[in-house]
Amino acid sequence: MERVLALASQHPVLIFSMSTCCMCHAIKTLFFELGVNPTIHEIDEDPNGREMERVLLRLLGRSPPVPLVFIGGQLVGPIDRVMSLHLGGSLVPLLKEVGALH
């Protein structure tokens, strides 16, 4: 848990992802198209990925645990929550607030 929270606190936008996940690709594309350069942590390429996946499952409380987005060190959530913020007009101001967008 400490490693996940430490990674999240070190980056304005952190996406936990799996390189073969289509929903992960979609969320990364959204951030890139908004002009954000998120830090992406591919848990399937991490030697401790299985342990990290279990931590993300506990944080989220449901499966699958990815994509999982942290903004400003805070858990924003999975793709449905991020898309809800985006469609509601709240995502861009949040990204500006943490310095991920100018």
CATH architecture, range 2-97: 3-Layer(aba) Sandwich (3.40)
Domain parsing of the chain, residue ranges: 2-97
Torsion over CA: 44, 4, 81, 57 (sign): positive
Q: Provide the pLDDT for residue 98.
A: 97
* Alpha carbon distance 36, 62 (integer Å): 27
pLDDT at 62: 80
How far is 38 from 6, CA to CA, in rounded Å? 16
pTM for this entry: 0.94
pLDDT digits (tens, 9 = 90+) for 36-95: 999 999 999 999 999 999 999 998 888 888 999 999 999 999 999 999 999 999 999 999
13 phi, psi to nearest 5 deg: -135, 125
For residues 6 and 80, give the distance between their C-alpha atoms in angstroms, rounded to a whole number.
24
pLDDT at 11 over 90: yes
Phi, psi dihedral angles at 80 (to 5 degrees): -65, -40
Cβ-contact 77, 68 below 8 angstroms:
yes
